[in-house]
Amino acid sequence: MANYFSDNEDLQFLFNHLDLAKVATVQEDNFHPSNSPTAILYAPTDAADAIDNYRRVLEITGQVAGEHIAPRAETVDLKGHHLNSDGTVTLSDAVRDNLQVLAQTDLMGFTLPRRYGGLNCPNVIYTMAVEMISRADGSLMNLFGLQGIAETINAFASPEIKRDYLPRFSRGEVTGAMVLTEPDAGSDLQAVSLRAWQDNDGTWRLNGVKRFITNGCGDILLTLARSEPDIKDGRGLSLFLAERGPRIKVRHLEEKLGIHGSPTCELVYDDAPAKLIGERQLGLISYVMSLMNGARVGVAAQAVGIAEAAFRVARQYAHSRKQFGKAIEHLPAVAEMLVDMKINLEAARALLYETCIVCDLENNNLRVLEEQNTTLSEEEKKRRKNEARGWKRLNGMLTPMSKYYCSEMSIRLTSDAIQVLGGSGYMTDYPVERYYRDARITSIYEGTSQLQIVAAVRGVCSGAFEKRVEEYEQHPFSEAPIQKLHQTLVEGKRLVIEAIEFVKGRGGTYMDLYGRKLVDSALVVLIGHLLLRQAETNERKKQVARRFIETGWPTLQRDIALIRSGDTSPLEQLTTLAGPPPGVN
Amino acid sequence: MGYECVVCVKQVPDTTRVTGESMKADGTVNRAALPTIFNPEDLHALEAALRVRDQHGGHVTVITMGPGAAAEVLRECLYRGADRVILLTDRRAAASDTLATSYILSRAIRKLGPIDLVFCGRQAIDGDTAQVGPQLAEKLELPQVTYFEQFTDMIDRTVRIRRNVGNGWEILQARLPLLVTVLDSANQPRPPAAKKVMQYKRAHTMEELRRQLAETQPSLSEEQCEQELGRQVEQLQQRGLIINQWNLDDIQADLQWCGLSGSPTKVHRIQAIVLTKEGFTEIPPTEAGIRQMIGELIKDHTLG
């Protein structure tokens, strides 16, 4: 009877540690009577009631993940989906069973408002659910974790579209896809060329090809298309809702390294009818950016979930496997690996859920501003706008940081898990090789690590980092060992700020060249503070924080020294140092 | 069309967590030392009934007989989609053996009116008798199929059932109404549904409400208490959140067949058996070694 929530001490700890009452209060509009249990039978009455609901939903998710999804994960990995001759896809039985149990337990409308049949859970709770589902089966996140599509419809589409489509998402009748990438538009989405035009009735029609589309065989396709042929950049793009039909065909299913349960499709649109979401021209610059931010948090949670699964196998194996007359966990090299794996996993989780809370505060302020535009006083509007702007700025840094840090951690950790198991880990007898294959995508899709750094480093250099850390530094600590660690972080921040000044003096290209090191240094400080807060209430977490900060400190110093070296040889001496391209024989 | 289904469930001590304190000095179960759970095979019985309703329509009514705390398993049924739940509770039913229990359950089911299918778990993990289902069928004058795994066909009033016979299965055809006892190999029970949990976590019996009130507002006079209770009940009733509670009078049970007086079973002796490990046997990894081990296992009836 595995339950992936109740067996996970760190998730339980965070559930109690995070300020969920604050999140619940904004999420539930201060428990306004129109949302009360007398109006909607499953609505909460107050913050304690809402938090009790969150805990229960996570217990259900944990049960579904542990008892239903995890036992099928190996089958999902081995059995692909089937592309039919009519351009439709038949999902494998195991994946369909997974979707059915998720629908039956009401988990497919996790964050949607209750009026559309959703659970109205905040992002932080949804992200915990995504983590648990990903621990059970990394690839299922791509179906379960696509609820951002419904959220995007909820945030930007017309009331008619919301009314027609959102209840179907909540009931789990439909799944969606975000259809962005094209053969010549990957990281650079401004180059999207799939054409949107209006026929004589005024119906929008989509024509062109999309590639690498996760769950492109889903029912509801949010499609980025060029509605303004004369505008060549991102401002010529709009977002459309197209429903699966005979004019949209899957031409090809990709063969991939991992996440086999997630069908990756090449789609052909043959003047397929579609509905415009929101306003023209805002497709990429507003809606997709918002959608992508949510999806990035989802991928970060997927990475953490897969890492959790891999760590557990490695930890168990190191305890039971004997070599040289003792369990290998007692070999210094293995012990160090296990400790680093676990600490990095908890560090990633600390960052991820802090990011989620900030997302919730930003999104809810924006939602209230929109929903109660006519009733709020001017003063209140101004206050909320300011607040939302502050959270958005912070989020603009934290979201790419989380995506980058969690995915890189997961790839390293799953690789180390194979290492701990040695030859056995390389074989398919143990699931760690699957975890590694599944984790590998997380630093690539929804924006590569390199692109996350470009976004994050701008937050680091534009004051968001400094402001946040200064808020953390205000927190008083009473215990001497924690105070000492805190001092290390204060010194770390000073070094990072100096490095930022140095980088700013050298211009944007230099900033991008040293972006990774700058972001890594800032992360030591940020995560260090988060772990110190956790250490206040938990003895074990004190040791976790100590190990993280004391091992992070020399790395920070090294990275700062490199940033301040002024070396730009990778740019100037590319051909000399990397050698000329070998050419193709 | 559709089928009226009744499921009998039981709250049991979690016998998988038996510790040294689980038994009192007199050999009876120390219920306070054991957490209670939904009897595992009853969850499979509930699932079988819910599947019939989901596929063919109808209703699922769940009955449990037990102390007030057994309302918890009824909430678990509501979380999974039961349409109606009834707590059968009465001090006069205490100490009922399987015969008295099946009599009381039969009275409650007769009170429900015409039904098509009764589902019981094969047996409960506390007594392990597997008697209540079959006895209940006799009392209700229904045909019974034990060791149910699934309906292979349901056409109008005729059903075909696959039942597990230990080393294989057989398919039986039967007419409704009918009682089945369900095995854990029948299905994988569904987890609770989130919205139903959020809604029905507030579902309570009168008795629970009264106890909550006494705890939260101990200063109320008896009259104020009844008034407040009435107000709460009315509110919850409107939202379908009152768990029905029946006693022996409600089901017109003949008291001589209930409780101690209706229970011919007498516990002769209870023995605490402590299994101790005594040494070990080394089996040589050869054909002859394996053959000898299997021979010994057959001889002491571990196998066969």
Q: How far apart are CA A224 and CA A236, in angstroms?
A: 10
Q: How far apart are CA B7 and CA B77, in angstroms?
A: 10
Which residue, among A105, A128, A132, A147, would best test binding to B if mutated, counting the most B CBs under 10 Å from its CB?
A105
Q: Provide the chain A residues 48-77 that lie in CB contact (below 8 A) with chain B.
A: 52-53, 56-57, 60, 63-64, 67-68
Q: Is residue B276 part of a domain?
A: no
User: Which ipTM score applies to this complex?
Assistant: 0.92
CB-CB under 8 Å, A52 with B188: no
Q: Is residue B77 part of a domain?
A: yes
- Listed in sequence order, the residues at least 6 apart from A10 whose beta carbon sits closer than 8 Å to its beta carbon are A345, A346, A349
Tell me which residue in B190, B194, B239 faces A57 most closely, judged by beta carbons: B194
Tell me which residue in A38, A52, A105 faces B191 most closely, judged by beta carbons: A105
Q: Active-site positions of A? A: 446
Q: Where are the beta strands (DSSP E) in B104-235?
A: 117-121, 144-155, 158-164, 169-175, 178-182
Q: What is the pLDDT of residues A521-551, one digit of tens each?
A: 999 999 999 999 999 999 999 999 999 999 9
CB-CB under 8 Å, A42 with B198: yes
Q: What is the pLDDT of residues B212-223, one digit of tens each?
A: 998 988 888 889
CB contact burial A390-409 (16+ within 10 A = b; e otherwise): bbbbbbbbbbbbbbbbbbbb
Chain B, nearest residue to A53 by Cα = B198
- Listed in sequence order, the residues at least 6 apart from A274 whose beta carbon sits closer than 8 Å to its beta carbon are A196, A204, A205, A206, A223, A225, A240, A241, A242
CB-CB under 8 Å, A38 with B239: yes
Q: Is residue B124 part of a domain?
A: yes
List chain A domain ranges. Answer: 9-172+285-442, 176-282, 460-568
Pick A460 or A584 by higher pLDDT.
Answer: A460
CB-CB under 8 Å, B199 with A106: no
SS (H, E, C) A490-542: HHHHHHHHHHHHHHHCCCHHHHHHCHHHHHHHHHHHHHHHHHHHHHCCCHHHH
The band of A175, judged by pLDDT with boundaries at 50, 70 and 90, is very high
The whole-number average pLDDT for the span B194-199 is 96
Q: Is residue B287 part of a domain?
A: no
Q: What is the pLDDT of residues A235-266, one digit of tens each?
A: 999 999 999 999 999 999 999 999 999 999 99
Q: What percentage of residues in chain A have a pLDDT greater than 90?
A: 90
- The alpha-carbon gap from A158 to the nearest alpha carbon of chain B, in Å, equals 26
- Listed in sequence order, the residues at least 6 apart from A521 whose beta carbon sits closer than 8 Å to its beta carbon are A492, A495, A496, A499, A556, A559, A560, A563
Q: Is residue B214 part of a domain?
A: no
Matching CATH number, A460-568, of 3.20.20.20, 1.10.10.10, 3.10.20.30, 1.20.120.470: 1.20.120.470
- The alpha-carbon gap from A58 to the nearest alpha carbon of chain B, in Å, equals 9
Tell me which residue in B193, B201, B202 faces A106 most closely, judged by beta carbons: B193
The CATH number of whichever domain residue B184 belongs to comes to: 3.40.50.620
Tell me which residue in B188, B190, B194 faces A107 most closely, judged by beta carbons: B194
SS (H, E, C) A109-162: HCCCCHHHCCCCCCHHHHHHHHHHHHHHCHHHHHHHHHHHHHHHHHHHCCHHHH
Interface residues of chain B, partner chain A, Cβ below 8 Å: 188, 190-199, 201-202, 239
Q: Is the model's pLDDT at B24 over the cut of 70?
A: no
- The alpha-carbon gap from B9 to the nearest alpha carbon of chain A, in Å, equals 20
The band of A356, judged by pLDDT with boundaries at 50, 70 and 90, is very high
Q: Is residue B71 part of a domain?
A: yes
- Listed in sequence order, the residues at least 6 apart from B147 whose beta carbon sits closer than 8 Å to its beta carbon are B122, B163, B164, B165, B181, B183
Q: What is the pLDDT of residues A266-309, one digit of tens each?
A: 999 999 999 999 999 999 999 998 888 899 999 999 999 999 99
The residue range of the domain holding B152 is 3-205+243-262
Tell me which residue in B197, B199, B202 faces A60 most closely, judged by beta carbons: B197
Which residue, among B198, B231, B236, would best test binding to A if mutated, counting the most A CBs under 10 Å from its CB?
B198
Matching CATH number, A9-172+285-442, of 1.10.10.10, 1.10.3720.10, 1.20.140.10, 3.40.50.150: 1.20.140.10
Q: Is residue B284 part of a domain?
A: no
Q: How far apart are CA A376 and CA A355, in angstroms?
A: 28
Q: What is the pLDDT of residues A103-113, one digit of tens each?
A: 999 999 999 99
pLDDT reported for residue A301: 98
CA proximity to A97, closest of A83, A76, A127, A66: A76
Q: How far apart are CA A29 and CA A33, in angstroms?
A: 9
Q: Is the model's pLDDT at B26 over the cut of 70?
A: no
pLDDT reported for residue B28: 62
- What is the pTM assigned to this prediction? 0.93
Matching CATH number, A176-282, of 3.10.580.10, 2.60.40.1220, 2.60.40.1180, 2.40.110.10: 2.40.110.10
- In chain B, the number of structural domains is 1
The band of A38, judged by pLDDT with boundaries at 50, 70 and 90, is low
Q: Is residue B231 part of a domain?
A: no
CB-CB under 8 Å, A52 with B195: no
pLDDT reported for residue B23: 67
